[in-house]
Structure 1
Amino acid sequence: MTNALAELSKAAQGLSRNPLGIIALFIVMVYGFAALVTTFADSLSATEKTPLIYFLVIFPILVLGIFAWLVSTHSTKLFGPGDFKHEENYVELMSATASLTLASVKREDTASAAPDIQSIARSVRDAVPARDIAAAGKRALWVDDNPRSNINERQAFEAVGVQISLALSTDEALSKTERQRFALIISDMARREGPAEAYVLLEKLRERGESTPFLIYTSADSQKLQAEARRRGAQGSTNSAQVLFQTAMRILLG
């Protein structure tokens, strides 16, 4: 009896580490009480037995429906740190999500509305397997003469293993790309050098045969700007921290 209780306690501790396990514990507890009641069912009248019978039949169907709903609509919330191959990944996911959320709050495109944290979390979750991306030699160059404006965005990338190098000008970016290979270049549009300096940098890179994927992270966004960026050879242009993260990770993991 003591061994059985010890095993039960050990199993309960394991299950309580994530929401799915807690749900399972609740179901076991409910059925445990139901089992106790049925033990004394002989002393119950037919009227008293009826609710118990309905419960035993309807409860599992109800649980199955709720479980299916949770998995289909809230899958990102059903796991704990121990469910990840490396528990550090869970910390990285939370760190990247927090950084992207802060970045989204700061951007003008979300000034009048709260950021969609669930959507941001899904974006980061998809990038978690990239934890060892730095070991694979994946580095990104971020070109901006005001790097303080994108601290949160860079932290989100670094949280999932991307190594970020900074360049404050077009000349510095060109110099760094001559000395080192990058898997991606992210550039702001306007700098002290000019109002469309991203295009200047992109043109010079393409003229010397550089095919490194190029993303423009600017304060304005429109279909016209996106089309112009692609026409000039960039892989995209956006003012959204979330879109930038999603697009960049697709490129880095592609």
Structure 2
Amino acid sequence: MDIKEFSESAKGFTKSPLGIIALFIVLVYGFASLVVAFGQNISQHIAPLVYFMVFFPVLVFFGFLWLVAKHHRKLYGPSDFKDEENFLKTQISSAASLAAAISKQPESGGDLSRVQLDEIVELVSNTKQKHSTEKWKNRVLWVDDRPDNNIHERQAFEAQGLEFTLALSTDEALSILNREKFAVIISDMGRKEGPQEGYVLLDALRKNGNSTPFVIYAASNLPEHKKMARERGALGSTNRAQELFSLVMGAVNNGS
């Protein structure tokens, strides 16, 4: 490899913290090797250099393990995540699904105003999920005895990388939660079991010490119902798809 090729390769390494670390390691080890091979009058100091060349890779290895374990999100530069076409597809898919969810709500009348469309675009464009290496932090439990009513909402979240587990009842949800962890729980309010099953589930979770963020997605958007939900330990309560999206994505990102 000539000087020009090496400089181009080195330039590529400087685009991220991980690359800079790798470049520094290569240069240090390279200079040490040159000194040992071509250095003059270093016979009295050869032992420290040999020890350095033997133990330096070991120190680098354990240092790298520590960085990956404790600061893995800081090891990449912006260019490592640059996939504008995929990002655009994700945003369009999420916005389209969210628009479909809003349009089916009674107050919309089936048509979205320019203000609502602008709100959707702004909301989705400002949402950037922090993907976690821990799978449960990207998973949501949705409790509703009529899950087909929420297909568009789930599609909006799935476009952002979230995965869903569905439960049709309070008992089923509690059984699932005994085995698995989730970043967020979404629940309707009234089910076949009773008119306030959302609160029944919420109270049972908080009584058992489960503090998973809990969002109620029901028919009411009255201020007093929102206040009551928060007082009982919920993150929020809404009947608006865009508010649900904001609450859930906020909880997911804050917990990542």
User: TM-score by structure 2 length?
Assistant: 0.63
Q: Answer with 111-120 or 153-162: which moved more.
A: 111-120
* Aligned residue number for residue 101 of structure 2: 103
Q: Which of 82, 87, 92 lines up with 1:85 in the alignment?
A: 82
Aligned to 1:225: 225
* Offset of residue 114 of structure 1: 2.1
Q: Mark the CA change 1:218 to 1:91 in structure 2 (over 3 Å): closer, same or farther.
A: same
Report the CA distance between 1:118 and its aligned residue: 1.6
The answer for the alignment partner of 2:207 in structure 1 is 207
Query: 1:164 Cα shift?
Result: 1.1
Partner amino acid, structure 2, of 1:207: K
Cα offset, 1:132, TM superposition:
3.3
Runs of 4+ in 1 over 4 A off after TM superposition: 133-136
| Alpha carbons 1:142, 1:186 under 8 Å: kept | yes
Deviation at 1:109, TM superposition (A): 3.0
Partner of 1:248: 248
The match for 1:144 is 144
> Cα distance, 1:85 vs. partner?
2.0
2:153 aligns with 153
- In the alignment, the residues of structure 1 paired with residue 93 and residue 111 of structure 2 have an alpha-carbon distance, to the nearest angstrom, of 22
- State the distance in 2 between where 1:242 and 1:134 align: 27
Structure 2 CA distance, aligned partners of 1:221 and 1:173?
A: 24
Whether the aligned pair in 1 keeps the contact of 2:103 and 2:110 (CA below 8 Å) is no
Q: Write the distance in 2 (CA, Å) between the matches of 1:135 and 1:157.
A: 18
Q: How far apart are 1:108 and its partner, in Å?
A: 1.9
Query: Who is 1:132 aligned against?
Result: 131
Q: 1:205 to 1:89 in 2, by over 3 A?
A: same
The answer for unaligned runs of 5 or more in structure 1 is 1-83
Unaligned runs of 5+ in 2: 1-80
Trace 1:9-158 onto structure 2 (pairs within 5 A).
85-86=82-83, 87-111=85-109, 114-115=112-113, 116-127=116-127, 129-130=128-129, 132-133=131-132, 137-158=137-158
| 2:4 corresponding residue in structure 1 | none
- Give the letter aligned to residue 171 of structure 1: D
Cα distance in 2 between the residues matched to 1:155 and 1:138 = 14
AA in 1 matched with 2:108: T
In structure 1, what is the Cα distance between the partners aligned to 2:179 and 2:107?
36
Q: 1:135 to 1:90 in 2, by over 3 A?
A: farther
Distance 1:159 1:237, change over 3 A: same
For 2:163, the aligned partner's letter is: Q
Matched, 1:172 2:172: yes
AA aligned to 2:182 is F
Alignment partner, residue 163 of structure 1: 163
TM-score (norm 1): 0.64
| Contact kept? 1:134, 1:163, Cα under 8 Å | no
Report SS of the residue matched to 1:130.
coil
